[in-house]
Structure 1
Amino acid sequence: MNFPLSTTLTPLTAAAALGAALLIATPAEAAPVVDAAKSEVTFAIKQMGVPVEGRFKKFDAQMAFDPKKPETGKVSFSIDLGSATMGSAETDVELPKATWFNTAKFPQATFQSSAIKGLGGGKYEVTGKLNIKGASKYVVVPVTLAAAGPAATATGTFAIKRLDFKIGDGDWSDTSMVANDVTVKFKLQINGLGAL
C-alpha cells in the first residue's frame, strides 16, 4: 500500500519544527565562570602579634547568579588546601600537615551558599556553610560586584576563627602564639555574569 509522501512526512516535519522552535525559544545560557588566573584568595593572621599573609593558588567556583534577581542565585566555592602558601618554604611545608590543614584527609575547603541578599549599589550578602577539616560553620560573606570591561569583579572580606575548624591544633591552639582570628579576602574576575 502506498501513502502520499506529504502524509508520511507531515508529522515528522511538525515534530522537527516544534523541536527547533523550543531550542530557539529557550537558548541555553552559559553559567558565569571565575577566571582563576585573574583572581585571588588570600588570608591574614597574626603570629606573636605580627601580621602574616598567605594565599591559595588553586580554587574553583560554580555559580548560577543573576545580579537583578540575587535571591534566586547559588554559589559554591572550593579551595585546594594543598595550594596554600605563606611565602616561606619552612612554613609552607607545615601547612599540609595534620596539625594545620591535614590535606591528606581533607584536601579541600568548600563553601555552599544558602541565601543571597541584594543590598543595592552592587553590594550583596551571601550566607552559606563553610566546611574546613570536616567542621562546618555558617558564615555571612559581604560581596561587592563591579563591572570590569566585559567581565565583573567580585570582592569581599570576612573573618573566621581558626580553632572553629581545628586549624593549628594541639600546641598551636595557644592563641598567644597564633591569633584565633583569620581574615579571608578575595578578588574574583567573573566572565559571563551579564549586566550589573
Structure 2
Amino acid sequence: MKTLSLTLLAATAALAAAAVRAEPATYAIDPTHTFVTFEAKHFGTSTNRGRFDKKSGSISLDKAAKTGKVDITIETGSISTGTGPFDGHLKSKDFFNVEAFPTATFTGDKFTFDGDKVTSVAGTLTLLGKSQPAVLTATSYGCYENPRLKREVCGGDFETTIQRSTFGMSYGVPALPDNVKLVIQVEAIKQ
C-alpha cells in the first residue's frame, strides 16, 4: 500500500511539473516571411491577384494544451496588384475604402491540431468595420530552429474563401464574383 501511495505521489508530481512546463509561448509575426494575398475572378475569366505589403501581429501557442491565439492586422492601403490604377480603385469606397477603414484584422482562438501540427484556426475576420466568422485552413505547417536567430520559428500556409458582400463590399456583384480566396503565408518568431 505504501508503494502504491509513493507511486501515485510521484505520478502526481510528474503531471504537475508537466503542467507547469506547458505554458503558451509568444511568437511575433515575421513581416519578411509573412504575406497576405488574395485571388478573385475578373468577370468570370482570368484571376486577379494582389497582396497587402504591410502586416503585423502575434501568435500565442501552447503545443501541449493544443491551444493558441492569433492576432493579425493588415494595412488595407498597402494593397498591391502591380497595376497603379487598379490599386487606386481597390483603395476606393467601391472596395476597401482605405480612408475610412485603414486596417483589416483576423483574431483566432480555436486551434485544431493533428498531432503537433496546426490544421486550422477559427476566429473572426473584420473588414470594412464588419466582423464575420472565418476559418483559416492550413495547407502546410511546421516549426524549426532558425540557424541565424537561434530561436524557434513556426509557420505555414493558410487559406480561406470569403464572400466580400457580407462585409459590405458588393461593387460589381454578380458580374464580378463575390467569392475571394485569401492566402496567408505566415512565419512567427518565438519571443
Letter in 2 for 1:155: D
Q: What residue number does 2:114 align with?
A: 119
Aligned to 2:62, the other structure's residue is in SS state coil
Write the deviation string for residues 173-194 of structure 1: whole angstroms up to 9, x where unpaired.
x222x2111011111122118x
Does 1:55 pair with 2:54?
no
Report the alpha carbon displacement of residue 87 of structure 1 after superposing the two structures with TM: 1.1
More strand by share: 2
Report the alpha carbon displacement of residue 124 of structure 1 after superposing the two structures with TM: 2.5
Does 1:31 pair with 2:26?
yes
How many residues align? The count is: 163
| C-alpha distance in structure 1 between counterparts of 2:155 and 2:133, whole Å | 24
Report the alpha carbon displacement of residue 95 of structure 1 after superposing the two structures with TM: 1.5
Write the deviation string for residues 57-85 of structure 1: whole angstroms up to 9, x where unpaired.
001112211233232x1111110000011
| C-alpha distance in structure 2 between counterparts of 1:38 and 1:118, whole Å | 22
More divergent stretch after superposition (128-137 vs 184-193): 184-193
Aligned to 1:82, the other structure's residue is in SS state helix
| C-alpha distance in structure 2 between counterparts of 1:63 and 1:152, whole Å | 10
Which runs of 5 or more residues in structure 1 are unaligned? 1-24
Does 1:189 pair with 2:187?
yes
Q: What residue number does 1:166 align with?
A: 168
Letter in 2 for 1:54: G
Computed over aligned residues only, the root mean square deviation of the Cα atoms, in angstroms, reads 2.3
Which runs of 5 or more residues in structure 2 are unaligned? 1-19, 147-152
Where do residues 1-196 of structure 1 align in structure 2 (5 Å cutoff)? 31-48=26-43, 49-71=45-67, 73-120=68-115, 122-143=117-138, 144-150=140-146, 151-169=153-171, 172=172, 174-176=173-175, 178-192=176-190
Q: What is the identity percentage for the equivalent residue pairs of Structure 1 and Structure 2?
A: 23
Contact 1:119 1:125 in 2 (8 A): no
Letter in 2 for 1:97: S
Report the alpha carbon displacement of residue 168 of structure 1 after superposing the two structures with TM: 4.3
Aligned to 1:69, the other structure's residue is in SS state coil
